[in-house]
Amino acid sequence: MAKQASLGRNVALNGIRTLFNLLFPLVTFPYVSRTLSVDNVGIYGFSDSIVSYFMMAAALGIYTYAVREGAKLREDRGRLERFASEVFTINMVSMLLSYALMALFLLAVPQLNRHAAVIGILGIQIFFSVIGTEWLYAMFEEFAFITLRSIAFQLLSLVLLFLLVKGPDDLLAYAGIAAFAGAGSNMVNFFCARRFCRIRLVRGVPWRRHLPPILVIFSTTVAISIYTCSDTTMLGFLCGEHEVGIYAVSSKIYALAKMLLSSVLIVAVPKLSLFLGEGRMEEYRGTLTHVSALVSLLLFPAATMLFTLSEEFVLLLSDASYLEAASALRLFCPALLFCLIGWIANDCVLIPARLERVVLFSTIVSASLNIALNFVLIPLWKADAAAFSTIAAEASVMFISVRRGLRVARVGSWLGRDMLLMAAGCVPVALACRWAHGWGLGCGATLAAALPLSFLGYAAFL
């Protein structure tokens, strides 16, 4: 019972953190989109997508691997200290290789060289993300510390944003503030990590033991990054920064919805790994069923609201010059459903069960499909094509992962009757949203009215 209470506490804490992560861009992005102009928002989005590849290369698959394996060593400080130091050493090596690759690409690719200053500033985050050892805090389920630290640096960044970003010429200042938010949090992590164990660079790392599972997880991360970031990158290369700026709004809203809905999954993974590793299958299945049902309960009405009130959501985060993004946002709504269901199967079932190769296979299939569709469709339909390719990619991941995951977890009742009921409950949600839309209020007032009406309609139906 205490363990379940602990899970509930962690879900609440991570929910608070996710809420602030959600509110932060809701405050900053409208200001930034109106202050920097569409083209500069596009330059930032394109540069950020490039940096994300090198950040991914530096991270390898270490976060997932360290949380999964380290959670089993929490009570043995000596073994944990050795394990954490070995993983940290591997991470430092991958970071140096990542920076070398980034420098090479900046020199070799003219379109990247043109935005070298923004890319360089954002690239500072790579170093701090490695020394921040976020995986250590997740391993010990220190979500209270992570939440407070995150909120503090978000508030400080917000102050800096309004002080330093005043017009289109302040793009570099905005990039610096964005980098500072992550770098500052990770610096605090670095200095506070010693209360768990002493982490240092070590010799004699058993590469053959750590590297194979890390590389399998990394390969999955690469494939995920390709189909989550390639749309922005390819839009930048094929259509220019303006189209990236338009797409940035719809993809930002999609990312925020995923962040909010996935907060339950993030805190559940260490506990699910522990239950599965110790063979406590009854507790594992109970927790998995509870988490899956909770995510599904929120997922269907959220996707319906985003679809029905897409223009209002776009206007809330930007202005009328970005209104083209509404059609791409509507396309993201089915992708949201596929993504979260696939995420449950991957992060809560397959990875704790050490079936990373299944996750890798599904992700490679989806990434290949995403890139192929982007190449063919982006020149024709631009941002809408990028959103459509995301639907196809997320659907393929969901199909492969759920099919295999059900055989491992042997839970599926929530996928049947309960999920059909939740899907049917979206009808009153859509009607409530259309009713609120018809009142002719502003975007904020329409959303504020639609939310309680949708909740009442959904709750009454269920």
> What pTM was computed for the model?
0.70
> What residues contact 319, with CB distance under 8 A and at least 6 apart?
30, 33, 34
pLDDT at 101: 95
Q: Which amino acid is at 287?
A: T
Q: What's the one-letter identity of residue 312?
A: E
Measured between alpha carbons, how far is 302 from 442 in angstroms, rounded to an integer? 20
Output the pLDDT for position 18: 66
Q: From first to last of the 462 residues of the chain, give the pLDDT tens digit.
A: 334 445 566 666 666 776 676 677 777 888 898 898 888 988 998 899 899 889 989 988 888 888 888 877 877 888 889 999 999 999 999 999 999 999 999 999 888 899 999 999 999 999 999 998 888 888 887 777 877 888 888 889 999 999 999 999 999 999 999 899 888 888 998 888 888 888 889 988 899 888 988 888 888 777 777 767 778 888 888 888 888 888 988 988 898 888 778 776 776 777 777 787 777 888 888 888 888 888 888 899 999 999 999 999 998 888 888 889 999 999 999 999 999 888 888 888 887 787 878 888 888 898 889 889 999 999 999 899 999 999 999 999 999 988 888 777 776 555 566 777 888 888 999 999 999 988 888 888 999 999 999 999 888 887
pLDDT at 272: 78
- Give the model's pLDDT for residue 165: 92
Burial classification of residue 416, based on how many CB atoms lie within 10 Å of its CB (0-12 exposed, 13-18 middle, 19 or more buried): exposed
The length of the chain, given as a count of residues: 462
Question: CA 256 to CA 404: how far, in whole Å?
Answer: 28
| Structure tokens that stand for 221 in this block | 């991360």
- Is 196 strand, coil or helix? coil
Distance between start and end Cα atoms, the chain:
28
Angle between helices 241-261 and 2-36 (to 10 degrees): 160
Say if CB 340 and CB 261 are below 8 A apart: yes
* pLDDT score, position 131: 92
